[in-house]
Structure 1
Amino acid sequence: MAKSKFLGGASRRSLLQQFGAAAIGISFSGSLSACGQGGGGRTVNFYNWDTYIGPTTLADFQAATDVPVNMSLFATNDELFARLRAGNPGFDVIVPSNEFVTRMSQAQMIQELDRAQIPNFTNLLPEFQDAAFDPGRRYSMPYTWLVLGIGYNKAACAAKGVPVPNSWRYLFDSPTFTQRMALLSESADLIRLCAKYQGISLNAIPEANLASIEQMLIRQKPHIKAFHEDDGQDLLAAGEIDIVLEYNGDMAQLMSAEGGEAFDFVVPQEGTLINSDCLCIPTGAPHVEDAHAFINYLLDAEAGKKITEEIQYPTPNAAVRDLMPDSYKNNPVIFPSADLMAKSEYGAFEGDEKARQFEEIFTRISAA
């Protein structure tokens, strides 16, 4: 998912200012050559969401294994998929969300994992050791799980008479926050949440509802300031918007930063979309053995704790969870109530044709 750059403590931006991107193995372009990754030797080329790793994780892995990690960044699953559709340019580990695990496995874009090389699999919570989108966990290991909701400026919303914007209506079907809102640009997620607002399942959306969702968002577009990819919470923090469609972990990061008490997060009453970001090895990975070692390391209890402390996303790792403080375990932003979770669903991959249809709908909305 699109991850926040607005962090408390030592953010990516401050690290870059101090050391420069090359010094910590980061490319913002998704270009392997930008990180000097074209040479031989042991390494892991990691394609990840922004600020979705612990501050010392890459260096710690290198210290433990003598294998460097070069990390490039993407902003959406659509970008990740497009980057690898024509063939793997040299990545060893990628982080697609659940339905893209299905889509990429069916397209033979990711390879089966060797469970024998990932003994830390046993650290996972039982409910994450299998998955409907990847039966038997043949192609993926869970990295995080997450939900979408509405991040908001508390004072600005109260001033408009909406102290808690607890319905998708405020984003999709209302002028209340004209030019003070931002929506996510990931086509499938956006359309599925509109289906939730319409009171139907976010999977197998009928054609009539897809047409009405498209028209609803076209009507709403004059009220939308931006369709964001990787900076929705930053727009909120900068005061450019008052409400935003965002991931719970991004908002937990923002709310824990200096000045974060001005913001809050709500899962709308209609329910939401649940996602799980996963660790996969793309077909044609040049360093398969080191890729397995890196995935196993990310599932380690202490390594996972450092990651979770930084990114503030729900962990599927029981060993990590046991090390986290109650302030994390009991945070309703990170772990929404059972009632809200019962109204929420994972999105299922429904075929390339449906994925293209979602993309085409969003393109028409963007052009309207």
Structure 2
Amino acid sequence: MNEFAVRRLSRRGLLAGSGALAVGMALAPRDGAAREEPVVRFLNWDDYIGATTFSDFKSGTGVDVVFTPFRNNQEMFDAVSRPDHGYDVIVPTNEFVGRLMASDLLMPLDEAALPNRLNIQRQFSDALFDPGRRYSIPYVWGTLGIAYRRSAMAEPPGSWRWLFQSNRYNGRIALYDEPSHVFGCALRYLGLPVNTTDPAHIEAVEHLLIRQKPNIRIVGPVAANKLLMTGEADLILVYSGVMQGMIAQDPDLGYIIPREGSILSQDSLCVPKGAPHPKNAHAFINFILDARNGAKIARSLNLPVANRAALRLMPRSYRDNLVIFPSEIVLASCRVRVYQGPDVAAMYQAAWDRVRRA
């Protein structure tokens, strides 16, 4: 009798066995997926997937991935608002999951088709923007902070003041064209709740940004990152996830979460209502949740994934990197933005539109 036949059936052993089954089932959809056209249409941020994820999925399931990039959450939302959108899997951020839910644009997930959910880290198994995780699966998370050029300043920019209330770097500051993120960080700077519905709070941020408008550029995330990399900007609002790669290319760059605290950004995998290939969509999400596939994504992106099984396969240099994984004290100062209905969203958007026109 071999050692596996006499293994004790402890709880840990059962969990390990179920994990192995889940990994095996990641490739099971070949037959089930064949009932649909062998394709899954993926609407995602640009360059936000593993280098071999699509080809690995094709090899394991026979299903092609057709990838379409989007530039910001609003563009993604507008795309899936069309009845004939044609997408199977999308990647919204934080409160856009709630906004999609409120607009009846998401399909409830079939838990039975996602056995690799067992690999999700406990702290991400629930979400303020999707209680019970009925509509979303955590993909990649990170913080918002300030990226800066070390040689351009005497000390690290330890406060949001450097972005929102300083003219020292006139014309060399870039903010993402993502109103939720900008307002969230500015609210932290002013010491106000990040999910405030008070018009006076929103107006205070609007006035702050309009006063700062002559000193800043408002561009998409990719464009802002390029401005810093090419030396055309010295300070930008940035996702922590992109910083590791940027610092590797240019050691003169630094990243800091300001002392006032920040926003915890989380991107999720969702299936939009009307998805033409829902079985393939679930198979693809389950594939991403596999330990080895998740680790490949983490290695490609140098981003923190919410997959505990994948994290165990990553080197200590990744797991101990404070840019990728901030300390517990820093994380405790970060907040999550949630969707609070169309009226509140309209207030924020109107204020942002006025900032952009100023």
TM-score bracket, shorter-length normalisation: 0.7 to 0.9
CA-to-partner distance for each residue in 1:160-184, whole Å, 9 max, x for gaps? xxx2001100001111111111001
- Equivalent residue for 1:67? 63
1:335 equivalent among 320, 325, 332: 325
- Equivalent residue for 1:192? 184
- Equivalent residue for 1:207? 199
2:280 equivalent among 285, 290, 296: 290
Pair 1:98-2:94 in alignment:
yes
After superposition, residues 156-235 of structure 1 pair within 5 angstroms as 156-158=152-154, 163-235=155-227
| Counterparts of 2:253 and 2:264, CA distance in 1 | 22
| Counterparts of 2:122 and 2:207, CA distance in 1 | 42
- Equivalent residue for 1:37? none
RMSD of aligned alpha carbons: 1.3
After superposition, residues 350-365 of structure 1 pair within 5 angstroms as 350-365=340-355
Q: Which has the larger radius of gyration?
A: 2
1:345 equivalent among 335, 339, 342: 335
Closer/same/farther in 2, CA of residues 282 and 221 from structure 1, 3 Å limit: same
After superposition, residues 134-145 of structure 1 pair within 5 angstroms as 134-145=130-141
Give 1:99 shift. Answer: 1.0
**What SS does the aligned partner of 1:364 have?**
helix
Give 1:127 shift. Answer: 1.6
| Counterparts of 2:127 and 2:212, CA distance in 1 | 36
Give 1:275 shift. Answer: 1.6
| Counterparts of 1:226 and 1:349, CA distance in 2 | 23
Give 1:88 shift. Answer: 4.5
| Counterparts of 2:103 and 2:199, CA distance in 1 | 25
- Equivalent residue for 1:82? 78
Give 1:336 shift. Answer: 1.4
Q: Is the 8 A contact 2:177 2:219 kept in 1?
A: yes
CA-to-partner distance for each residue in 1:209-258, whole Å, 9 max, x for gaps? 2112111111101001343342222110111100100000111121123x
**What SS does the aligned partner of 2:222 have?**
coil
Pair 1:299-2:289 in alignment:
yes
Q: Is the 8 A contact 1:61 1:297 kept in 2?
A: yes
Counterpart residue type for residue 195 of structure 1: L
Give 1:205 shift. Answer: 4.6
Give 1:77 shift. Answer: 0.9
| Counterparts of 1:172 and 1:205, CA distance in 2 | 21
**What SS does the aligned partner of 1:276 have?**
strand
- Equivalent residue for 1:5? none
Give 1:208 shift. Answer: 1.5
**What SS does the aligned partner of 2:153 have?**
helix
- Equivalent residue for 1:50? 46
- Equivalent residue for 1:325? 315
Identical aligned residues as a percent: 40
| Counterparts of 2:326 and 2:241, CA distance in 1 | 11
| Counterparts of 1:357 and 1:200, CA distance in 2 | 16
**What SS does the aligned partner of 1:53 have?**
coil
| Counterparts of 2:38 and 2:347, CA distance in 1 | 41
2:229 equivalent among 217, 223, 237: 237
Question: Please, what TM-score do these two structures have when normalized by structure 2?
Answer: 0.88
**What SS does the aligned partner of 2:259 have?**
coil
Counterpart residue type for residue 123 of structure 1: N
| Counterparts of 1:99 and 1:289, CA distance in 2 | 26
| Counterparts of 1:308 and 1:231, CA distance in 2 | 23
**What SS does the aligned partner of 2:251 have?**
helix
CA-to-partner distance for each residue in 1:129-150, whole Å, 9 max, x for gaps? 2222212211111001111000
**What SS does the aligned partner of 2:312 have?**
helix
Closer/same/farther in 2, CA of residues 255 and 138 from structure 1, 3 Å limit: same
After superposition, residues 229-268 of structure 1 pair within 5 angstroms as 229-257=221-249, 260-268=250-258
Counterpart residue type for residue 50 of structure 2: G
1:112 equivalent among 101, 108, 113: 108
Give 1:286 shift. Answer: 0.4
| Counterparts of 1:78 and 1:351, CA distance in 2 | 15
| Counterparts of 1:334 and 1:108, CA distance in 2 | 34
Q: Is the 8 A contact 1:150 1:246 kept in 2?
A: yes
Unaligned runs of 5+ in 1: 1-39
**What SS does the aligned partner of 1:366 have?**
helix
